[in-house]
């Protein structure tokens, strides 16, 4: 397994990455942003949190990797 640094290249208001963020609360915004960053870079976002609203990110369902 390898790791790499991802620069902060995505804006939270980029419609090319994020769908409507209406209703996203402060506890979810970081996860949604990180999922968007992962999707934009075509890598996986691994998390234990099954409540990440992947449908708010273009390609979010494909990028989301839930750890059981």
pLDDT at 2: 73
For residue 13, being part of any structural domain is answered with no
pLDDT at 1: 64
**Tokens 């942003």 -> residue:** 33
> Phi and psi for 53 in degrees, rounded to 5?
-75, 80
pLDDT at 61: 97
pLDDT at 40: 95
- Using the predicted structure, report yes or no on whether residue 5 has a pLDDT greater than 90: no
Distance CA 65, CA 11 (A): 22
pLDDT at 4: 77
pLDDT tens digits along 26-64 = 989 999 999 999 999 999 999 999 999 999 999 999 999
- For the chain, state the CA radius of gyration: 11
**Per the structure, how many domains does the chain have?**
1
For residue 15, being part of any structural domain is answered with no
For residue 46, being part of any structural domain is answered with yes
């Amino acid at each position: 397994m390898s790791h790499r640094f991802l620069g902060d290249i995505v804006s939270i208001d980029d419609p090319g990455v994020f769908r409507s963020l209406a209703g996203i609360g402060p506890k979810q915004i970081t996860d949604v942003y990180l999922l968007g960053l992962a999707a934009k870079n075509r890598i996986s976002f691994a998390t234990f949190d099954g409540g990440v609203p992947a449908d708010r990110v273009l390609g979010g369902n494909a990028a989301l990797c839930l750890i059981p």
